[in-house]
Amino acid sequence: MSTEAILRRIRDEAIRFVDVRFTDLRGALHHVTLAADHVDAALIEEGCMFDGSSIAGWKSVEASDMKLRPDPQHAYIDPFHAEKTLCLHCSVVEPDSGEAYVRDPRSIAARAEAHLNRISVADAAYFGPEAEFFIFDDVRIATTMNRVAHEVDAPSAAWNSDTAYAAGNKGHRPHVRGGYLPVGPMDDGQDLRSEMLTTMQAMGMQVDKHHHEAATCQHELGLVFGPLLRQADEMQKYKYVVRNVAAAYGRTATFMPKPLQGDNGSGMHVNLSLWKDGHPLFAGDGYGGLSDTALWFVGGILRHARALNAFTNPTTNSYKRLVPGFAAPVLQSWSAHNRSGCVRIPWARSARGRRIEARFPDPSANPYLAFSALLMAGLDGIEQRIDPGDAMETNLYDIPSERPGEFPMLCRSLREALDALEEDHDFLRVDDVFPAELIESYIALKWTEVTRYDTTPHPVEFAMYYSI
């Protein structure tokens, strides 16, 4: 939509407020709500001011003025506000020069797409994320000096099989790691997920399915693939809708990768493909029906996988998911169909469906940074013609214990991932897609999380060590 079209829509639809939204380094969505009668062409084209010093990892207080510049494309009506509110995603710019702020994640995604067009390898990179999430009914968290604890609960959870309820316990609930695609009454989230998809469709999003996932209380909705920047915006809308529809039902949704011990965690498998002049560049006659371009792209992702972990698996909790046996990869490996590798080649009925699937990302990732980093790693693979090595057809969860040290592993902690990013980030710096200042700021921000995690006593430590 053009600026004029936005202003016309505000008038014609009697919109009362305009919500301008942006994303911080961690991936959290923020917003400022403007009265619609104060929104004019200058505001949409030039932006509005806000305090950047209040956003973690951004400006210091003595140089805090920043500007939000709305993107008039893909504006949508917020379905959760009582007053009619039009939402616009924004990039963050410097107020004096109008140039993109180097630590703005959305600007990184725009630079990644611009870099792709400049090098002429392809003219489009499509991303199809599959973000899983958990829905609970009660969540309690304590992190005080003398008490560190958490507890989650839901009537549909596997651990409530013998809980006494006033209306009786009906007994239908998924078992641990046994919740994949059941029908009702075992699946109690059908109407909730359907409303999530209906809401997304009303917002102009392209969605195709929903279902219960393998873990107890775990779910997934399907987003149709799209270009990098657009899809990162859609991922932010996806999370927003999931959380708010759950709240409307009196429930709570989380994209935390591993909220439960002993059950599957939540991944965000990312399907990727490159296109040029309307033709799929990943289709060929190589292994898995892939072209040399696709194989080199896979090689780039595998070579840089440990550095990518810092963006695709950006929390200390992420590495409680990346363990053997819980449908998440642990080795830097690939193959067709094999779901235990970190890159999989899904079956496709035609060349147009040929793609690769990165299975190690999780939904705690900032989508702008994660998608951009995956693209840059793959493009480095194409540039360097990196051989991905032999495809692995066996169950890879058995390999680390049977032949330790023989195969390279993904990172096992956020600490390892940050160290890997510090050592391997030249592929991100190409064409200044990821400015050095952003990488440094991101690493510093994430180290504060590692330090807090490392210095906080854990309940399992009391169980193991209190009586020693």
Residues 103, 269, 304, 354: which is the catalytic one? 269
Residues 359, 362, 380, 425: which is the catalytic one? 359
Residues 213, 234, 263, 380: which is the catalytic one? 213
> Going by C-beta distance under 8 Å and a sequence separation of 6 or more, which residues neighbour residue 8?
none
With tokens 């107020």, the residue in question is: 95
Residues 71, 104, 132, 234: which is the catalytic one? 132
Q: Could you tell me the two tokens for 64?
A: 């805090």
Give the Cβ contact number of residue 294 at 10 Å.
29
Q: Is position 321 annotated in a ligand binding site? A: yes
Q: Are 126 and 275 in contact (CB under 8 A)?
A: yes
Q: Are 342 and 262 in contact (CB under 8 A)?
A: no
Distance, CA of 204 to CA of 234 (rounded, Å): 10
Q: Is position 222 annotated in a ligand binding site? A: no
Q: Is position 160 annotated in a ligand binding site? A: no
Give the Cβ contact number of residue 176 at 10 Å.
15
234 carries an active-site annotation: no
173 carries an active-site annotation: no
269 carries an active-site annotation: yes
Q: Is position 132 annotated in a ligand binding site? A: yes
Q: Is position 317 annotated in a ligand binding site? A: no
Cis peptide before 72 (omega within 30 of 0): no
Residues 71, 78, 113, 220: which is the catalytic one? 220
Distance, CA of 401 to CA of 399 (rounded, Å): 6
Q: Are 56 and 124 in contact (CB under 8 A)?
A: no
Residues 24, 130, 362, 380: which is the catalytic one? 130
339 carries an active-site annotation: yes
Q: Is position 269 annotated in a ligand binding site? A: yes
Distance, CA of 331 to CA of 323 (rounded, Å): 10
The three-state secondary structure class of 140 is strand
Q: Is position 359 annotated in a ligand binding site? A: yes
Give the Cβ contact number of residue 145 at 10 Å.
6
Give backbone dihedrals phi and psi of 188, rounded to 5 degrees, phi first: -95, 5
Q: At what angle do helices 305-312 and 436-454 cross, to 10 degrees?
A: 70
Distance, CA of 298 to CA of 103 (rounded, Å): 28
Residues 357, 362, 380, 425: which is the catalytic one? 357
13 carries an active-site annotation: no
Q: Is position 339 annotated in a ligand binding site? A: yes
Residues 4, 13, 51, 83: which is the catalytic one? 51
Q: Are 210 and 221 in contact (CB under 8 A)?
A: yes
Q: Is position 26 annotated in a ligand binding site? A: no
94 carries an active-site annotation: no
220 carries an active-site annotation: yes
Residues 9, 16, 74, 339: which is the catalytic one? 339
Annotated binding site for Mg(2+): 130, 132, 213, 220, 269, 357
Annotated binding site for L-glutamate: 264-265, 321, 339, 359
Annotated binding site for ATP: 208, 339
Annotated binding site: 130, 132, 208, 213, 220, 264-265, 269, 321, 339, 357, 359
Catalytic residues: 51, 130, 132, 213, 220, 269, 339, 357, 359
